Every structure is written in C-alpha cells, then in structure tokens.
C-alpha cells in the first residue's frame, strides 16, 4: 500500500480565487471526458461536491468506481475509501486522493498490529473459541485483509445488523472493529443481552476484561469511535424536543447508544437522506450527522425545516481537507502525465481484503 506525504501545492493554487478554481476544474473535466470519474462522499464540502460524477457513501462510491471504465478515479473522500476503490477497480485504472492528509481518525484507531495482538490474546483467553471478525468499512485495507484471511466480513452502517447476524450464526463470538458504537447499536437491535457485549480497550491486558467475561461474551467491541458523531449528545435531543414538539430526530448509528436509543430513527447517510426526502412538506427534522450533509439537505428541501441536532458545527475536519485547490492540482498534474497521490494496495493485501468485501456482498 502507498505510504506518501502530501506535497505543498503552492500559492498558484492556494491563493487562487474560488471563481478561477471552479472555471479551471470545469475545463479540466471537459478535457478528460470519460477518462475521468470524480467521486464525492456525502460529507464533502459543497465547493467540491458540485463537481462530482457520482455521490454516495464510501462503499457505494467504490462500487461506482469498479463499474466505471474511466482511467482516472479521483476520490474526494478519505484514505480508506480510496483504498477500497483501488481494491475493486482494474489494474488499468488509477485511484487518486486530492490531499493525502484526508484520513479517518476512527480507521486509524485499529492498526493491524494491534488487532493481531488482541486476536491472539482473545484466542488464549477463550480457549480458542470460534471467533468471527467483522470490520466496519471505515477501516484500512490491511484490516480488511486480516478479516478476509480469518473468514470474516466487512459491514457498512446500513447492513451491520445483517452481517452481525451472519457472524453469530457462523461462530461462537464476534470481534467487531473499529467502531464501538455501530457495533453496540447493532447488537442492541438484535436483542443481544448487555452482559454479552464487552468492550476491548486497546491499552489494557485482555482489553480490560477478565477471561470469564470474554468467555461469556457474544460480541467483543473495539474501542474506536467517530470524532464527529460522538459530539451529538442526549441533551441535544431533549433540547430540540422541548423547543419544537413537531421535531423528528434521526441520527447515524455511529452515535452513542444513549443518543440512538432516544432518537426517533437512525440509519446510514443514505437512509437519512431517504427518510428526509420522503417526508411530507413542512416536516421538521434535527439530524445527527456531519454538517455538510445536513446543510445540503436543507438546501435541497426548502419546504422542510432541517437542522443539525447539535448547536455546534459537527464537521469532519479530515474530509474537509479536500478543497477545490487540491482537486485542480490533481487534475492539472494528470493533464501533463504526473500521477501524484495515487492510492495503491499491494496485490496480496487486495486479494484478502476483497474476500471480506465479497463475503459482505454474499450476505
């Protein structure tokens, strides 16, 4: 896999006016034609989102890339998303990330070295019980490869409950990473008792559990989290309900169990978009997810009242690193044959990672 450092793109791009950047990006898009595919995640800022050929969540965009014949895939998202696109595309396609600093703190909370160490400890503590690993798609290619090798599956925020059901039928226990909260909310939805769900703390022997707790557990959760979604609090839900009796609260399952438990509904970014879009004119919504998506929903549905659940701007700061200046820089370099910021996953890792992705699709 590529280990690269973001280049300084210089004043030529960073000090250009937005109007100039927009015009030059549009011209480059026209120049490349069908050789170029620009993918934008729902959390991307509007100044970049406007140039998207495809929009969606991370897995949907990776599949868009795989279905495309474009030579160049510019992924306006974060690093793990570009890795997934590289795994699923052909050797004739190149995947590029406009700014290499666009990472995912949650994905970084589960390194393959940490997971391998925990896996060995867990096996010893549980007498080699049959444990099935499940990783959220928000994880590195190396983690997906580990899961593929061990017979597990990737999941998304929309299918986590189905994948968890499959994993519990396939083995005695599930080791779920990196997001504690998606795992906990999914386990709760399936009716798994709280005392059968334990948290694995990375810096503690046996994850801070006793051997007996791990032996009794059905679901072991890694202690990772989304820095954006944990900003939403139960008090925000209560404040909105006190302020507006017509409000409907919908949140992402990366929010805490406390928040999800008192919301009216929860779901993936796609599910949130569908719910708000399908609601009647005049509906009132408080949405617990990243602010760029909330603002976009507000613009797209002026006949509805749409607010962020939090009084603060819950912004994905790493996604926000993808700016028009960096998008233009990538396109200008491509135009002269420079393949900067290409994201590549080595063949061995890609093969194992694809197993875990394919297993999810089979489920």
Three-class SS state of 269? helix
Q: Cα(65)–Cα(54) distance, rounded to whole angstroms?
A: 9
Is 81:62 a contact under the CB 8 Å cutoff? yes
Which sequence spans correspond to the domains of the chain? 11-103+318-347, 107-226, 229-308
336: DSSP letter? T
Crossing angle (nearest 10°) for helices 180-189 and 160-170? 80
Neighbours of 331 (CB within 10 A): 23
Pick the CATH number of 107-226 from 1.10.3720.10, 3.40.50.10800, 3.10.28.10, 3.30.1330.40: 3.40.50.10800
Pick the CATH number of 229-308 from 3.40.640.10, 3.40.50.10860, 3.30.930.10, 3.40.50.10800: 3.40.50.10800
Residue 4's pLDDT band, with cuts at 50, 70 and 90, is low
Reported as a single tens digit per residue, the pLDDT across 71-130 is 999 999 999 999 999 999 999 999 999 999 999 999 999 999 999 999 999 999 999 899
Q: Cα(90)–Cα(67) distance, rounded to whole angstroms?
A: 10
Domain 11-103+318-347 in CATH: superfamily?
NadA-like (3.40.50.10800)
Reported as a single tens digit per residue, the pLDDT across 50-87 is 999 999 998 889 889 999 999 999 999 999 999 999 99
Compute φ and ψ for 226, nearest 5 degrees.
-95, 125
Is 117:146 a contact under the CB 8 Å cutoff? no
2 pLDDT exceeds 50? no
Close Cβ partners of 289 (under 8 Å, ≥ 6 residues apart): 228, 229, 251, 252, 269, 272, 314
9 pLDDT exceeds 90? yes
Assess whether the region 11-103+318-347 and the region 107-226 belong to the same CATH fold: yes
Q: Residue with structure tokens 């909105």?
A: 240
């Amino acid at each position: 896999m590529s280990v690269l450092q973001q280049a300084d793109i210089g004043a030529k791009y960073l000090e250009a006016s937005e109007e100039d950047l927009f015009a030059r990006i549009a011209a480059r898009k026209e120049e490349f034609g069908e050789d170029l595919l620009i993918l934008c995640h729902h959390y991307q800022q509007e100044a970049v989102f406007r140039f998207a050929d495809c929009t969606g969540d991370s897995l949907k965009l990776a599949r868009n890339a795989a279905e495309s014949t474009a030579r160049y895939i510019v992924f306006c998202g974060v690093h793990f998303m570009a890795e997934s696109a590289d795994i699923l595309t052909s050797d004739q396609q190149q995947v590029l990330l406009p700014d290499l600093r666009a990472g995912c703190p949650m994905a970084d909370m589960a390194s393959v070295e940490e997971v391998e160490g925990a896996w060995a400890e867990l096996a010893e503590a549980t007498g080699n019980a049959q444990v099935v690993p499940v990783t959220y798609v928000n994880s590195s290619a190396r983690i997906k490869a580990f899961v593929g090798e061990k017979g597990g599956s990737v999941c998304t925020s929309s299918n986590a409950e189905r994948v968890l059901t499959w994993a519990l039928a396939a083995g005695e226990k599930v080791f779920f990473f990196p997001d504690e909260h998606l795992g906990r909310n999914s386990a709760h939805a399936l009716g798994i008792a709280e005392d059968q769900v334990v948290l694995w703390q990375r810096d503690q022997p046996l994850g801070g559990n006793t051997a007996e707790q791990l032996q009794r557990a059905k679901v072991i959760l890694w202690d990772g989290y989304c820095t954006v979604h944990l900003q939403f609090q139960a008090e925000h839900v209560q404040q909105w309900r006190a302020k507006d009796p017509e409000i409907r609260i919908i949140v992402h399952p990366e929010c805490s169990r406390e928040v999800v438990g008192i919301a009216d509904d929860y779901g993936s970014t796609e599910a949130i978009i569908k719910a708000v879009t399908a609601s009647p004119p005049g509906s009132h919504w408080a949405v617990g997810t990243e602010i760029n998506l909330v603002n976009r929903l507000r613009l797209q549905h002026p006949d509805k009242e749409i607010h962020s659940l939090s009084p603060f701007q819950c912004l994905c700061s790493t996604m926000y690193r993808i700016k028009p200046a960096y998008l233009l820089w990538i396109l200008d370099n491509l135009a002269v044959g420079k393949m900067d910021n290409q994201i590549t996953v080595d063949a061995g890792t890609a093969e194992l990672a694809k197993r875990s992705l394919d297993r999810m699709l089979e489920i």
